[in-house]
Structure 1
Amino acid sequence: MKKGMLLFMLMLSVSLWAQKGEVDTAQIVVAGRHNTAVAEAKPYVIMISADGFRYDYARKYQAENLLKLSSQGIKAEAMIPGYPSITFPNHWSLMTGLYPAHHGLIDNYFYDYTRREPYAKSNRKNAEDGSWYGGIPLWGLAEKQGVLSASMMWVGSASDAGGTRPTYYYPYHEKFSPQEKVDKVISWLKLPDDRRPHFISLYFPEVDAAGHHYGPDSKQTEDAVQLVDKAVGSLVQKVRETGLKNVNFVFVSDHGMIGVNAEHPLEIPGMLMDKARFDYYNSEVLLSVHVKNPAEVKSVYKALKAAKTDNYEVYLDKKLPRYLHFAERDDRYHRIGQILLLPKSPEIFLEKGRTTTVGKHGYDPKTTPEMKATFFAWGPEFKQGMTVKEFSNVNVYPLVAELLNLNISQPVDGNIKVLRKTLK
């Protein structure tokens, strides 16, 4: 795929996100489903994601409700996102228990050379085509075992990924306020027993948007944190008012945020402009190179390695650090380029003439701690007042499955042993 096509995809996504007035905001309900009698007796789990809510934001910006609720339940020192620490890959990792290279959603934008077509996060056709998404999402796991689920705009929830959509869901748009989302979750919890979802996923984008446009240390980001905190506090209070017992909350984020050197970005190596030989895909914090002639890969790698600066690293896909789970051996869908250029934070790659935002994520969390995410949990099934050490986000999947007594139907990267100690 040509660079011009990638730029077109990016521009198209911006256009699609901007056309909020044209978006259908109606809920979609899959008819004919009911909880089994066994499901009706199960606990409830509300899994909340605040996009871009860095591991230290709650304390940094004194998120009163989240600090109080997590102190009464479980809080992690941090949660480690998968690589790259980008929105779509990590929301899908949280929902499937698989690393990005294992579930195939390796970036917000990428090209699949087997399918010969691009994926763009804001392309509704892509978003609702489950063939792009590997793994069995938690709502699908629940539905197949007789437990109804609902989703408020989580990544992939409008698709048939894994073969089963949630019973109740909303395709993505930005017309609902956080409080409106809360009210719609409560409406689900007021349904009759046989139609009431026991697993609910809820998504808030505000903190990520503020962090990108104004930076992680801005007043706008603080305000966004407070907005989400207020919504969570309202949700918990309204759940109490329903009188439902055994409602459990898992609050997560997909990644953190860092201010970047947007004024003096790194130049993309000139040799890559030869479109007869290369395609490249630039997420600004990761530059993936596809060499069209496989026989040239090693020589191109050596040339890029020789020309690199101290501000970035050059790797063959076979040689990426094992802990990233992003090397050739992990690439189950063959979507990762043969050569990867990894800028060192706060540096980014940027094409000449393009503008960008001041806040970014996507870096290796091991070398850039600002990429680390948040994990809090509270409710009747959780222990109280426990702090756990940082862990990989793929371990949230088996935790939720354990809470709902669901049998995991295929191998995942997460392991219940990591977080079982948080349960009573």
Structure 2
Amino acid sequence: MKKHITFLIVLLQTVVAFGQIDTVQKIVPGRKNSIEQQKKTYVILISADGFRYDYAQKYQAKNLLALSNDGVRAASMIPSYPSVTFPNHYALVSGLYPSHSGLVNNTFYDRDRHDDYYMGNKAKVADGSWYYGSPLWVLAEQQHLLSASFYWVASEAAIQNITPTYYYVYNEKIAIHKRISEVVNWLNLPAEDRPHLITFYFPQVDHAGHVYGPDAPETAREVHFVDSAVNELTKAVKTTGLDVNFVFVSDHGMTKVDKDHAIGIPAAIDTSKFIVSGDGILVELYAKNQAGVKATYNNLKQEAKDYDVYLKVDMPAKLHYAQTDDWHNRIGDILLIPHYPKVFNLYSKKINIGWHGYDPSVVKDMHATFLAWGPAFKPHTTIPSFQNVDVFNLIKNILGLTYTGKVDGTGKLADEILIPQK
């Protein structure tokens, strides 16, 4: 009986521990802005997950339209492939395609580690060894320019043993007014303690787009929520008296899919021979023995309907997702890509009406939003679509940071929209 009671106590403690949500701000002690860096400007990088390139106009987000009218508005921003959340948030801050940053999908298998990464696993998300490149906050902190994060993919992971000076573990329990208030508190700190780069994240539009679709009134409501919150944030930041630059982006768009005719697991896949990763818009097969790859590929090609089958070596170059781009050995040996608007459903789960992840050069609905305003930006400027990996160099240039590592982005965006320094 005693053993049973002890087991129940341990089980209860485990349940309580997993049920607890960490809403406490993390502060790394001992860091200061250098005297030189204290003179630098400020950037708030805002992401509204799933905020499709046309949502501001489609739903008349009046504040975002007005703010960007005084600054910069892009026709769209082109996400990296696959056009899903984790790889693209990291592409924005690292300047690297997903195949180069190592964050190749929301879920993937790492052959060298014999382990898988899953965005819902908080321990793995917070493990800095999964990520490559130097995200903007790491770059800033290395150069004695403080940063803060009210959420961003990988911001709670110690990448190169560095996190932002101020950050929160991701949760959706902290109210928007509290989050805005904390940003103002950060900007009101003494100059040596004040972050010059702040990241800020909204999940609401993506949630609504998945459940209700991109054309639903529920999605429109969340667009208006983000619009109102950004307006509140800009007004609150003005009270600090600081010249702050705002960059408003999204990671990808959203589209309506054929959820009633999803593709099940193909008969040619022998799960005893392959690790199967992914679902929806990209399925990756990792061979346990390379000898079986060619036969399975040939069988899949014969069976395929409503989807394409690729060997990793034959993936289209435009996707930057082939073997030559697989810097960290994390892309599957065989890849299955559904034809739009089809999706896979390998696990017999409920399929949402809204999805993303398709090739953005084929499905325009995958395109993301880019807006910017503040003293660093040219006023009343409209630019054509561009690749999201260019955002890294843009913000690096605004903050006057240096970086000699490899990036996939160019300096074209910065040249187009920044006011030249005198």
TM-score in same-fold range (> 0.5) = yes
**Are the equivalent residues in 2 in contact too, given 1:20–1:174 (CA < 8 A)?**
no
**Are the equivalent residues in 1 in contact too, given 2:247–2:373 (CA < 8 A)?**
yes
Aligned to 1:327: 322
**Are the equivalent residues in 2 in contact too, given 1:106–1:335 (CA < 8 A)?**
yes
Cα distance in 2 for residues equivalent to 1:348 and 1:154: 27
Structure 1 residue identity aligned to 2:87: P
**Are the equivalent residues in 2 in contact too, given 1:20–1:175 (CA < 8 A)?**
no
1:174 to 172, 175, 192: 172
Aligned to 1:260: 257
- Per-residue CA deviation, residues 127-181 of structure 1 (Å, 9 max, x unaligned), is 1110001110100100111100000111100111133110000000110233322
* Runs of 4+ more than 4 Å apart: none
2:408 to 410, 413, 416: 413
Aligned to 1:7: none
- For residues 185-200 of structure 1, what are the structure 2 equivalents within 5 Å? 185-200=183-198
Aligned to 2:8: none
Aligned to 1:29: 27
Aligned to 1:369: 364
Displacement after TM superposition at 1:238 (Å): 0.9
Cα distance in 2 for residues equivalent to 1:293 and 1:215: 40
Displacement after TM superposition at 1:79 (Å): 0.4
Structure 2 residue identity aligned to 1:259: K
- Per-residue CA deviation, residues 353-403 of structure 1 (Å, 9 max, x unaligned), is 321211111110011110000001110010011111111100000000000
Gaps of 5+ in 2: 1-13
1:162 match: secondary structure: coil
Residues 33 and 352 from structure 1, CA distance in 2 versus in 1: closer, same or farther, beyond 3 angstroms? closer
1:160 to 148, 151, 158: 158
1:280 to 257, 267, 276: 276
Displacement after TM superposition at 1:243 (Å): 1.1
Cα distance in 1 for residues equivalent to 2:78 and 2:403: 22
- For residues 217-366 of structure 1, what are the structure 2 equivalents within 5 Å? 217-244=215-242, 246-272=243-269, 274-309=270-305, 311-351=306-346, 353-366=348-361
Matched, 1:151 2:149: yes
Displacement after TM superposition at 1:295 (Å): 2.2
Displacement after TM superposition at 1:21 (Å): 5.7
Displacement after TM superposition at 1:239 (Å): 1.2
- Per-residue CA deviation, residues 33-65 of structure 1 (Å, 9 max, x unaligned), is 111111111010000000000000000010011
Cα distance in 2 for residues equivalent to 1:121 and 1:318: 26
2:47 match: secondary structure: strand
Displacement after TM superposition at 1:182 (Å): 1.4
**Are the equivalent residues in 2 in contact too, given 1:282–1:349 (CA < 8 A)?**
no
- Per-residue CA deviation, residues 48-94 of structure 1 (Å, 9 max, x unaligned), is 00000000000001001100111110111000111100100000111
Cα distance in 2 for residues equivalent to 1:392 and 1:150: 25
2:357 match: secondary structure: coil
**Are the equivalent residues in 2 in contact too, given 1:178–1:204 (CA < 8 A)?**
no
Displacement after TM superposition at 1:417 (Å): 2.5
Gaps of 5+ in 1: 1-15
Residues 70 and 21 from structure 1, CA distance in 2 versus in 1: closer, same or farther, beyond 3 angstroms? farther
Cα distance in 1 for residues equivalent to 2:126 and 2:152: 12
Residues 409 and 162 from structure 1, CA distance in 2 versus in 1: closer, same or farther, beyond 3 angstroms? farther
Cα distance in 2 for residues equivalent to 1:125 and 1:291: 26
Cα distance in 1 for residues equivalent to 2:248 and 2:348: 39
Structure 1 residue identity aligned to 2:391: V
Displacement after TM superposition at 1:415 (Å): 1.2
1:203 to 182, 185, 201: 201
1:419 match: secondary structure: helix
Cα distance in 2 for residues equivalent to 1:281 and 1:63: 37
Cα distance in 2 for residues equivalent to 1:275 and 1:288: 12
Residues 113 and 258 from structure 1, CA distance in 2 versus in 1: closer, same or farther, beyond 3 angstroms? same
Cα distance in 1 for residues equivalent to 2:26 and 2:62: 34
TM-score by length of 2: 0.93
Residues 342 and 83 from structure 1, CA distance in 2 versus in 1: closer, same or farther, beyond 3 angstroms? same
**Are the equivalent residues in 2 in contact too, given 1:282–1:288 (CA < 8 A)?**
yes
Displacement after TM superposition at 1:251 (Å): 0.4
Residues 392 and 221 from structure 1, CA distance in 2 versus in 1: closer, same or farther, beyond 3 angstroms? same
Count, aligned residues: 405
Cα distance in 2 for residues equivalent to 1:352 and 1:280: 11
Structure 2 residue identity aligned to 1:343: P
Cα distance in 2 for residues equivalent to 1:283 and 1:255: 17
- Per-residue CA deviation, residues 102-145 of structure 1 (Å, 9 max, x unaligned), is 00111111121210111111212111110001110100100111
**Are the equivalent residues in 2 in contact too, given 1:288–1:338 (CA < 8 A)?**
yes
**Are the equivalent residues in 2 in contact too, given 1:29–1:169 (CA < 8 A)?**
yes
Aligned to 2:117: 119
Task: After superposing the two structures, state which structure 1 stretch, 290-299 or 138-147, moved more.
Answer: 290-299
Matched, 1:134 2:100: no
Cα distance in 2 for residues equivalent to 1:214 and 1:150: 33
Cα distance in 1 for residues equivalent to 2:250 and 2:160: 23
2:81 to 80, 83, 97: 83
2:145 match: secondary structure: coil
**Are the equivalent residues in 2 in contact too, given 1:151–1:169 (CA < 8 A)?**
yes
Aligned to 1:39: 37
Residues 223 and 20 from structure 1, CA distance in 2 versus in 1: closer, same or farther, beyond 3 angstroms? farther
TM-score by length of 1: 0.93
**Are the equivalent residues in 2 in contact too, given 1:135–1:162 (CA < 8 A)?**
no
Aligned to 2:4: none
